[in-house]
């Protein structure tokens, strides 16, 4: 078994297509197909179900994927450790980001500073769905990711670094009947039409959890996948929303409407929390690009 077999298999699992995976690893499609077949023959097990429409991993394939990712991540760490012995930091940094992060982090200036300091480190940035973050970080496919914490705050193999602790507030248009109030209750909000994110988003899950815990029903008339369109919907009178206060600040400063504190039962809403996820692993000698990035992040936060 060769390293390329693992790389090809992980690429296929990630892309879900022989065509896209072959393009990603820069080989022809037939070469990728042969590589996967060689891997299956060596393991004596079928890893991939092939149909005319899609490619899916078998149960054995899912099991092998976890080990393949961990092996490649360990190899990457070993290579970085050896290469850094001459004092030059090399390698890559794979970041995961989330919606609303821009309210708390000036990512582009930070990456510009990081790249200037470490020009031989390649950086990739991916927008990730919340549910995928722990697995991608644990496997080593993502080195570091920003992730909203809703309920659960422990994952095996993951180190959590607290980053944001923000309050949740309600937003509404300037001409809305509630706009003259500084404080509203969940009961008052439940009588309004809501503009919400889609159910896969962490903020939506947190808001749903709040209303469910208080046994209050509400009406969601509009669902959008991004926080920016949600604020535009609210600004144009299509409903109200509950968002982190940093997001609400940009909403009010742009003239979209007003922000309202939410009180009443249990003294308001839970906090909006964002943590940095990184993989727990035994440290090798050498320089860790994640540590270098976190140092730059800490410096930015202090200014």
- Rounded distance, CA 276 to CA 159, Å? 8
Options 1.10.10.10, 3.40.1210.10, 3.30.2310.20, 1.10.760.10; CATH of 1-85: 1.10.10.10
Range among 32-36, 80-84, 160-164, 290-294 rated most confident:
160-164
Taking only the tens place, the pLDDT of each residue in 257-300 is 999 999 865 556 889 999 999 988 655 444 588 888 998 898 87
- Token pair, residue 189, equals 């909000």
Name the token pair of 251.
Answer: 């909403």
Domains 89-164+274-303 and 168-270 share a fold: yes
What kind of architecture, by CATH, is found in domain 168-270?
3-Layer(aba) Sandwich (3.40)
Distances (CA, A) of 290 to 40, 138, 153, 274, 286: 34, 14, 21, 18, 12
Domain residue spans in the chain? Answer: 1-85, 89-164+274-303, 168-270
What is the fold, at CATH topology level, of the domain defined by 89-164+274-303?
Answer: D-Maltodextrin-Binding Protein; domain 2 (3.40.190)
Mark 283-295 as b/e (b = at least 16 C-beta within 10 Å): eeebbbbbebbee
For residue range 112-161, what is the model confidence (pLDDT) as tens digits? 999 998 898 889 999 888 888 888 888 888 899 999 998 888 888 899 99
């Amino acid at each position: 078994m060769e390293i390329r077999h693992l790389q090809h298999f992980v690429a296929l699992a990630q892309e879900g297509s022989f065509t896209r995976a072959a393009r990603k690893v820069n080989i022809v499609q037939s070469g990728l197909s042969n590589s996967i077949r060689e891997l299956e023959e060596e393991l004596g097990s079928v890893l991939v179900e092939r149909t005319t429409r899609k490619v899916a991993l078998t149960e054995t394939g899912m099991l092998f994927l976890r080990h393949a990712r961990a092996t490649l991540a360990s190899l990457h760490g070993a290579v970085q450790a050896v290469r850094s012995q001459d004092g030059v930091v090399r390698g890559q940094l794979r970041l995961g980001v989330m919606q609303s992060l821009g309210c708390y982090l000036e990512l582009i200036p930070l990456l510009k500073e990081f790249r200037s300091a470490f020009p031989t480190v390649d950086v990739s940035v991916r927008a990730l769905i919340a549910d995928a973050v722990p697995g991608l970080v644990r496997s080593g496919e993502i080195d570091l990711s920003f992730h909203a914490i809703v309920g659960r705050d422990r994952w095996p193999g993951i180190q959590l670094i607290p980053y944001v602790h923000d309050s949740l507030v309600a937003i509404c248009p300037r001409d809305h009947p509630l706009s003259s109030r500084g404080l509203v209750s969940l009961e008052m909000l439940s009588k309004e039409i809501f503009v919400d994110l889609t159910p896969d988003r962490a903020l939506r899950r947190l808001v749903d959890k709040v209303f469910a815990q208080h046994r209050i029903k509400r009406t969601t008339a509009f669902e959008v996948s991004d926080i920016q369109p949600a604020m535009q919907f609210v600004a144009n009178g299509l409903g109200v929303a509950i968002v982190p206060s940093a997001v609400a600040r940009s909403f009010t400063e742009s003239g979209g409407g007003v922000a309202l504190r939410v009180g009443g039962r249990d003294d308001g809403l839970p906090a909006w929390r964002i943590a940095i996820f990184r993989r727990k692993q035994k440290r090798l000698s050498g320089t860790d690009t994640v540590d270098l990035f976190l140092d730059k992040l800490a410096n930015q936060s202090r200014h």
